Amino acid sequence: MATIAEGTAMQPPVAGWDKAMPKDKQLWMLALVVASIVMIAISFAWFFVGRQNIPWRNYATTPEAFEQQTKAFVAKFETKPGSGIVNVPPGEDIFLLNKIWAFEPAEIHVKTGGSYTIWYSSKDVMHNPIIADQRLTFTAIPGHAYGIQFTPTTPGTYLIYCAEYCGVGHQAMAGKLVVE
């Protein structure tokens, strides 16, 4: 090995740097490579295998069109005109308009064991409605509607809140899903 003059920016590396890696270190390296490949394979397989994935669909829309759809949905299932409370029979689609800073409708009643699709979209900025304890969430983006198919199994009242900071009234964005 050539000697490098002292006082230069280049110093010789640690002694033994040019020797082959010891066998035990090679084995550890191999184990790490194999473990990484297995974990990467699992993360891709997860998308196709198992029941943890939410069945969802989407379509392109406009904020105006989605608002009209939501208003028609609310008018059809509202318990009393102007109440903001909808009572949705099983098999029907639910529309949840996200806007600064409220959900429309504010309260959704569904039946245990019924099959529903809940459609999210935004009228203005990005929101992220979460239905607490029901593992249902999607980003609400203006111009896109996302539909999640779900079957409520546990009666109760679940908070719907926004998990995407959307402005000064963000913390006031709350709604209710009531599973009867």
Cβ pair 73, 93 in contact under 8 A: yes
Among 141, 148, 166, 177, binds Cu ion (CB under 5 A): 166
Q: How far apart are CA 145 and CA 94, in angstroms?
A: 12
- Beta partners for residue 110, in sequence order: 179
Regarding 71 and contact with Cu ion (CB under 5 A), the answer is no
User: Is the CB of 71 or the CB of 170 nearer to Cu ion?
Assistant: 170
User: Is the CB of 12 or the CB of 167 nearer to Cu ion?
Assistant: 167
Q: How far apart are CA 75 and CA 29, in angstroms?
A: 63
> And the tokens for 168?
């000064």
x/- mask, Cu ion, residues 121-160, rule CB under 5 A, reads: ----------------------------------------
| Residue matched to tokens 């998990």 | 163
x/- mask, Cu ion, residues 8-47, rule CB under 5 A, reads: ----------------------------------------
Q: Please work out the total of residues on this chain that contact Cu ion, with binding judged by CB under 5 A.
A: 4
What are the DSSP calls for 107-121, one per residue? EEEE-TT--EEEEEE
Per DSSP, the three-state class of 147 is strand
Regarding 162 and contact with Cu ion (CB under 5 A), the answer is yes
The minimum distance between CB 159 and Cu ion, in angstroms, equals 14
Interface positions with Cu ion (CB under 5 A):
162, 166, 170, 173
